[in-house]
Amino acid sequence: MLPDGTCAKETYCVSDGGRENCSGHGVCTQKGKTAQCACDPGFANDGLKLCGKCADPIFAYPQACDQRRNWILKPSDHDCEDLPYKMPHRLYEDENYESEDGSLEWQDRYNLKS
C-alpha cells in the first residue's frame, strides 16, 4: 500500500532485479517500490505496458514510433470571402426557402442572411 492509502503493484527495473524494461523503448528508474520509465522519443505508456505504444497514434507500434509527420500544410485554395453572393437563394427552381426578412434557415443550425 502506498503512503496515500492506494494499492499499487510493486514493480522493479531490470537493473534492480525486476522485470520492467520499458518495453525496450525507454530508461527505467526505480522510485521506491515502483518502476518508472522515461520513454524514448516517439513512445508513450499505454496504461498497461510502459513505453508500450507510439506517442503519435497514426504510426504503428513499434516499428514506426520514431517517425515524425513531415506533412506540408498549405493554405486552402478556396476563398470564402464572397460566400454570401455565391450561395443560392433557392434550393430548387420552383421553391423559395427564403423567409420574409431575407434569411435562410439551413439544417436548423445556420441562419444565412442576404
Q: Give residue 79's pLDDT band: very low, low, confident or very high (50, 70, 90).
A: low
pLDDT tens column, 22-77: 999 999 999 998 999 999 999 999 888 899 999 988 888 988 888 877 665 666 66
Q: Give residue 3's pLDDT band: very low, low, confident or very high (50, 70, 90).
A: low
Judge if pTM exceeds 0.75: no
pLDDT of residue 9: 78
Q: How far apart are CA 75 and CA 52, in angstroms?
A: 36
34, 64, 72, 97, 104 from 101: Cα distances, Å: 68, 57, 44, 11, 9
pLDDT of residue 16: 93
Give me the percent of the chain exceeding a pLDDT of 90: 33
> Within a 10 A sphere around the Cβ of 99, how many other Cβ atoms?
11
Q: How far apart are CA 16 and CA 36, in angstroms?
A: 12
Better pLDDT: 76 or 11: 11
Mean of per-residue pLDDT scores for the chain:
77
The domain limits of the chain are 1-66, 83-113
CA 106 to chain centroid, in Å, comes to 31
Q: Which residues contact 68 (CB under 8 A, 6 or more apart)?
A: 42
* Amino acid found at 14: V
DSSP state letters, 33-62:
TEEEEEEPTTEE--SSSTT-EESSTTSPTT
**All cell numbers assigned to 29:** 528508474
